[in-house]
Amino acid sequence: MAITKSPRTLTPEFKFKVVLEVLRGERKQSEIAREYHIHPQLIVAWKSHFLREGPKIFASKKADRHQDKKVEELEKIIGRQTIEIQFLKKVLGHLS
């Protein structure tokens, strides 16, 4: 009878830990992969993703506030237009 392994769920914390170990360069990537029983290509993918998305960690909060303000302005415009549309429908309904 063959025993099948269920797939592991690898947490973001685990992936971060592995990528940091690779970036520190104290051991070879293949050694780290062997220790954690993961394929070396998986580490390559995690590392690429980390390096690509890393700058977002330091993104300005000012940009977020600007975007929030813009969304608020657009919501006000939509609200006014909705009221205008309802009014015009009412007026057109009385004319018909």
Q: How far apart (Å, rounded) are the C-alpha atoms in residues 62 and 68?
A: 10
Q: What is the pLDDT of residue 2?
A: 55
pLDDT under 50 in the chain at which residues?
A: none
Stated pTM of the model: 0.56
Tokens 């394929």 locate to: 39
Q: What is the pLDDT of residue 6?
A: 57
Distance spanning both ends of the chain, measured CA to CA: 79
CA 43 to chain centre: 19
Q: Which tokens hold the place of 67?
A: 């975007």
Q: What is the pLDDT of residue 62?
A: 75
